[in-house]
Amino acid sequence: MTTLYGISNCDTVKKARTWLEKQDIDYHFHDFRRDGLDKKLVQAWVNQVGWEGLINKRSTTWKGLAPKVKQAMNNSNVIDTILQQPTLIKRPVLVSQDQLLIGFKQADYADSFGIDVVN
């Protein structure tokens, strides 16, 4: 099962959803603002890509964190911060079988699903 995690009003999430739908890829959308996030799931993502690969440092949420919090961020303490402020996550997060993609790049999605990109 393919699951796309994000927030429904995010433009990049909307692009990813549109791409998946145009490719007739069956997926479940999980709005982590509305549906929440599981600590084990977030830990698995951090284990796979590291906290810096998961966090959007250009987000308003990141910019709003105290400098002390940002400087102390690591793979261990980032989980609780993400659970408290899930919009820190770079969106969308696509989980399909054993693959994890952070953000949306059409070529990466196409490669992941074995689809030829047509420009």
Q: Which residues pair with 77 in a beta bridge?
A: none
**Residue 119 confidence class, pLDDT cut points 50, 70, 90:** low
Give the pLDDT band (50/70/90) at residue 118.
low
Structure tokens, 75:
């793979």
Write down the catalytic residue from 7, 10, 49, 73: 10
Question: Based on C-alpha coordinates, what's the Rg of the chain?
Answer: 15
- Domain membership of residue 118 (yes or no) is no
Length of the chain: 119
Q: What is the CATH number of the domain that holds 40?
A: 3.40.30.10
Domain range holding 76?
2-113
In a domain, 31, yes or no: yes
Q: Which residues contact 19 (CB under 8 A, 6 or more apart)?
A: 104, 106, 109
| Alpha carbon distance 50, 107 (integer Å) | 22
Is 10 one of the catalytic residues? yes
Distances (CA, A) of 19 to 2, 76, 87, 117: 14, 34, 22, 11
Q: With respect to residue 19, please indicate whether it lies within any of the assigned structural domains.
A: yes
- Residue 119 domain-assigned? no
Domain assignment of residue 78, yes or no: yes
Kindly state whether residue 67 falls inside one of the protein's structural domains: yes
* Location of structure tokens 């890829």: 25
pTM across the whole model: 0.92
How many structural domains compose the chain? 1
Write the pLDDT tens digit of every residue in 52-110. Answer: 999 999 999 999 999 999 999 998 899 999 999 999 999 999 999 889 999 999 999 99
Within-domain flag for 68 = yes
CA distance 25 to 63: 35
pLDDT of 98 = 83
- Span 8-42, pLDDT tens digits: 999 999 999 999 999 999 999 999 999 999 999 99
